[in-house]
Amino acid sequence: MNDNTDVLVVGAGYLGQKVAHLARTQGATVYATTRHQNRCLAMAKSGFHPIRFDWTDRRSINNLPLRQLSAAARVLVAVSYDRESRLGRYESQVGGLRNLLSFLPADARICYISTTGVYHQTDGRWVDETSPTHPDRLGGKVHLQAEQLLHAMRPQTPWRILRLAGIYGPGRVPRAADVIAGREIASPESGFLNLIHVHDAARATLAAWRQMDPAVVGQPQPVGTQSRLYLVSDDAPVVRGDFYREIARQCGVSPPSFVDPPADAPVRMRSNSNKRIWNRKLRRELLPSLRYPDYRHGLADVLHANVE
């Protein structure tokens, strides 16, 4: 990617930090936001320009380097909901995005991180960008509303929406520590998991920015959300039990046993939304190949490191 235009990462969490590192290695000046002052020093040591920013507080907009950003700056919006916030999800996620969009330059190339949780399907069917979205869970509803807000506020400016499957990678392998320790897994064994390695998710972000390169931005932009929307998942949805058994196999431990989680457990509620993500548009238009095309390749990459 021969694009060292300035990068603004709004929400430098697990994915945001990976995107920031990739952009930094390619010569970009990277500004990264955090709500927490104690993270600023570590971010500066990583070569980023740290910014204390809470998008629910319009006063902190003044902290953003809007005048310093180069033309057609690349902006990643990857803000996770703060469960300790006094604000609800809608006020935080949709209201915060509205505040941000009110101030970003019109030529900013925005990549908004959404979720495949906007899909409601429960029968294991394949879904793609054309599938209906009627989410039952609040997180999916709020992301869908944020997507609609982005379209409403910026109908003609360059942006893309990436609906991410479950993201994993170094230091983040769901329930791996329990499998290795031989603890029972409180999770349904059936139902599909849709996953994406953090490195490929970051590559998809950079590819989306490249697709909005100024040479292209000077031409008419796609109209409508669907034309600017991508599902970001690997090539192989996996049955939940098989995923945990693969962790055990690669780590040389006994296969896990499963117990039913409580009826109100988040994992049970997530498993109720049972579908398979079809990534054909991602592969056709953004990433012709994935570094980690399925969970086996991804787990082989990360299980030698410490897992949580």
pLDDT of 307 reads 46
Confidence at residue 82, expressed as pLDDT on a 0 to 100 scale: 81
At 85 the pLDDT is: 79
pLDDT recorded at residue 272 = 72
Q: Domain-by-domain residue ranges, the chain?
A: 7-168+196-234+275-291
The pair of structure tokens assigned to 286 is: 């953004």
pTM of this structure:
0.93
User: For residue range 175-229, what is the model confidence (pLDDT) as tens digits?
Assistant: 999 999 999 999 889 999 999 999 999 999 999 999 998 765 555 667 677 889 9
pLDDT digits (tens, 9 = 90+) for 39-62: 899 999 999 999 999 999 999 999
In degrees, rounded to 5, the angle at the alpha carbon of residue 198 between the alpha carbons of residues 76 and 39 is 60
Q: Characterize 221-240 residue by residue with b for buried, 16 or more Cβ atoms within 10 angstroms of its Cβ, and e for exposed.
A: beeebeebbbbbbbbbbbeb
Strand residues in 26-150 grouped as ranges (E): 30-34, 49-52, 74-77, 109-115, 126-127
pLDDT given for residue 293 in this prediction = 97
pLDDT of residue 308: 43
Cα distance between residue 125 and residue 192, in whole Å: 10
Contact yes or no for 94/141 (Cβ under 8 A) = no
DSSP state of 175: T
Write out the CATH class of domain 7-168+196-234+275-291. Answer: alpha beta
Residues of the chain with pLDDT under 70: 1-2, 215-221, 223, 265-271, 305-308
Pairing of strands 30-34, 49-52: parallel
CA 103, CA 303: separation in Å to the nearest integer? Answer: 42
Q: What is the dihedral of CA 94, 134, 187, 262, to 10 degrees?
A: 80
Strand ranges of the sheet holding 109-115, from the earlier edge strand across to the other edge: 49-52, 30-34, 7-10, 74-77, 109-115, 159-164, 229-232
